[in-house]
Structure 1
Amino acid sequence: MRRIEVGGQRAYPVTVGPGLLAGVRVPESQVALIHPADLPPAFVAAAQAALSPLVTVEVPARDDCKTLAVYADVLSRLAAANLPRDGAVVGLGGGAATDLAGFVAASHLRGVAFYTLPTTLLGMVDAAVGGKTGVNLPEGKNLVGAFWPPRAVWCDTDTLGTLPPEVFREGAAEVYKHGLIADPSLLARVLSPDFRPGGPHLEPTLADAVRVKADVVTRDPTEQGERAFLNFGHTLAHALEAATLHAVPHGEAVGYGMHYAARLSRALGGADLTGHTLAFLRWQRPRPLPALAFDDVWPYMARDKKADSEGVRFVLLHDLARPYLSRVPEDVLRREYGGWQADLSPLLMAP
């Protein structure tokens, strides 16, 4: 079992290890438990037994829960249950469910305590840590939300054994991303046969990836600077998700987006890291993409959260563990998009 501290004005622990779900405890006596519909019933039962929630709210699976309509419905359920100001919201499930739960916690009675119990690799290494909460709009991903850090995060590695292999590989994109931007030792560890549910590399690799994010958000809790580096690959990724109405899952979109960002980095004079990103895609084996022209995804990239009044900024790499933010001319974006499609077509893309 490993414990990582996220510092800042309101520090909190992230605990990584097996068997955590059944033993979780919170100091608040009245709790709302929010979980997705596709979660194994045993996980819900274990959390209910540990927490004795005042109300349990089931929400749609994956990004189908991250809508304003679902958000409003959950708030109404909490109000009807009279969850008090000194109560707590606990998000149990993948990253989409914990994003929604955190935004609900930030909003109910102008803010109540929030805890996360992520059950997917993506949720553990990324969504549940750092306090970014929110929902999507038709215009783009995560355009509505709030910074609302959890009081604690429990990453029960036993839950990962229930994931379909493709969902585990999807979440590995965020681990690999942390290797590219901060800790290159993670790259080979992710691609190792020992990085799997129950494998000897799982817990230490997951803990080290969480530590990368914890260190960054401790220094920059509200993304005024370096926290933006955690979005490496995400500008195109979020556009792919939005343009396909979330038919492309987040982790697979990030895998695709990291290769595009690696191409942009090389085009602007950085090291050629495309070998790393293609190696990851071969390992991840994402589903083929539909045919999307640059003009299909560009409007969504233009609304990316890193954009400012002067335009869209991309997270790029001078080299491994040397990220930076830069605006990229549109002609370069278009050219590299074509090269990105050509790189992927013999390996991954749909006919």
Structure 2
Amino acid sequence: MTSASVRMDNPSLITVPVPLGDRAYEILVGRGLIESAGARIAALGARAAAIVTDEHVEPLYAATLAASLEAQGLRVSVTTLPPGEATKSYASLERVCDAVLAAKIERGDLVVALGGGVIGDLAGFAAAVVRRGVRFVQVPTTLLSQVDSSVGGKTGINSRHGKNLVGAFHQPSLVIADTALLDSLPIREMRAGYAEVVKYGLIDDERFFSWCEANWQGVFAGSPERDEAVAQSCRAKAAVVVRDEHENGDRALLNLGHTFGHALEKITAYDSTRLVHGEGVAIGLCQAFRFSASLDLCPPADAERVEAHLKAAGLPTRLSQVPGGCGTVDALLDAMAQDKKVKGGALTFILARGIGRSFIAPGIAADEIRTFLAGEISA
């Protein structure tokens, strides 16, 4: 597809609004959107844009995005970082902040995050703190970031104490989810992102989970089902964000599977050769449902159905599938103790009464989770 063939009124474009008052924005979903991104971003009124990307994405898409922006008269800079979770660090934050300042980005200008969740979280956090807040745009390039991290305004970096513990809520001004960019993703990354798609059905939409069971192969193949899966995931997340922007209530539901998953990421030292975020989430979703079943909250058949679908999509579902092992029960509990949902030292889990019937469960007894994890490790 050439840039001349992409119109601003792209008939395949799906627009998902995020109505947050004076911070409202749109999520645009469709194929070929990066080539018209310049016009859409220029419409926000900026005079300059600082693109932040990584070494995997830069040779694929940075020139196209920069040319599209420059064609609209914007002054453009590009900062390229190493790929991987280790980039979400204090050192990288300093580098991006300095690059944005060196590019003379003012409050009315834009930081543009071109990449997956790591780049989106890092660039968004830099935008939140440079000049005490400049605007930014998300151009997510992975399925995981298109359906999750690019939406909702959570930004941040990792600490040696755990994942995403240093950050800020800072909403983007626009999200451009070009689903054609996913064609270049390795299958492992597609699978990892798909775990987050499934999560939305498991939280409160059994019909969407059933849709996923019937249509997941089209999502992977780049058929129209991919656009619908991304759009529906964004609608689901946007609805929760609008109700609870700063995670004081319902937004915690979006962490279904993440207490387990984040602990696994810490245990594996954020080493993507062993485990990537979506794989941790997939195992975590299965654990959340198996734990719920062990507490007689959820029918065992529902836990089995969740595991069967994720397994069919090629995702890990058991602790035994973590390369190099998952550590001891005590190590997992210590990792969970740094979870952002810990209150008064007590763990809060997102559990389920069935598929599409998740709920916030505060104050889970340590003995219950210890017994469950011991069984999971030995399984």
Same structural fold, with TM-score higher than 0.5 when normalized by the shorter chain: yes
- Aligned with 1:42: secondary structure? helix
Any runs of at least 4 consecutive aligned residues in structure 1 with deviations exceeding 4 A, and if so which? none
Code of the residue aligned with 2:66 in structure 1: it is Q
- Aligned with 2:164: secondary structure? strand
Code of the residue aligned with 2:155 in structure 1: it is T
Q: How does 1:70-85 map to 2 (within 5 A)?
A: 70-85=92-107
Aligned counterpart in structure 2 of residue 5 of structure 1, from 17, 29, 36: 17
User: Which residue is 1:245 aligned to?
Assistant: 269
CA separation in 1, counterparts of 2:107 and 2:171? 17
Stretch moving more, 201-210 or 225-234:
201-210
User: Which residue is 1:324 aligned to?
Assistant: 359
Aligned counterpart in structure 2 of residue 41 of structure 1, from 33, 36, 59: 59
2:202 maps to 1:189: no
- Aligned with 1:129: secondary structure? coil
Aligned counterpart in structure 2 of residue 235 of structure 1, from 244, 259, 265: 259
Contact 2:140 2:177 (C-alpha < 8 Å) held by counterparts: yes
Code of the residue aligned with 2:306 in structure 1: it is T
How far residue 342 of structure 1 moved from its aligned partner, in angstroms, is 4.5
How far residue 83 of structure 1 moved from its aligned partner, in angstroms, is 1.5
How far residue 210 of structure 1 moved from its aligned partner, in angstroms, is 1.1
The TM-score, its normalising length taken from structure 1, stands at 0.94
Q: How does 1:92-111 map to 2 (within 5 A)?
A: 92-111=114-133
Cα deviation 1:10-35 (Å, max 9, x = unaligned): 21111110010110132211111001
User: Which residue is 1:22 aligned to?
Assistant: 35
- Aligned with 2:353: secondary structure? strand
How far residue 325 of structure 1 moved from its aligned partner, in angstroms, is 1.5
Cα deviation 1:30-60 (Å, max 9, x = unaligned): 1110011111523111111112353211112
2:310 maps to 1:281: yes
Code of the residue aligned with 2:19 in structure 1: it is G
CA separation in 2, counterparts of 1:121 and 1:281? 16
- Aligned with 1:15: secondary structure? strand
Stretch moving more, 30-39 or 80-89:
80-89
Percent identity of paired positions between Structure 1 and Structure 2 = 36
User: Which residue is 2:155 aligned to?
Assistant: 133
Code of the residue aligned with 1:7 in structure 2: it is P
Which blocks of at least 5 consecutive residues in structure 2 are unaligned? 1-12
CA separation in 2, counterparts of 1:93 and 1:153? 12
User: Which residue is 1:315 aligned to?
Assistant: 350
Contact 2:58 2:80 (C-alpha < 8 Å) held by counterparts: no
2:225 maps to 1:201: yes
CA separation in 2, counterparts of 1:158 and 1:322? 33
Contact 2:127 2:134 (C-alpha < 8 Å) held by counterparts: yes
What's the Cα RMSD here?
1.5
User: What is the total number of aligned residue pairs between the two structures?
Assistant: 343
How far residue 201 of structure 1 moved from its aligned partner, in angstroms, is 1.5
The TM-score, its normalising length taken from structure 2, stands at 0.87
Cα deviation 1:249-268 (Å, max 9, x = unaligned): 00000001111111221233
CA separation in 2, counterparts of 1:322 and 1:218? 20
2:81 maps to 1:68: no
CA separation in 2, counterparts of 1:180 and 1:202? 18
| Compared CA separation, residues 177 and 117, structure 1 to 2 (3 A) | same
Which blocks of at least 5 consecutive residues in structure 1 are unaligned? 344-351
Code of the residue aligned with 1:267 in structure 2: it is S
Code of the residue aligned with 2:303 in structure 1: it is T
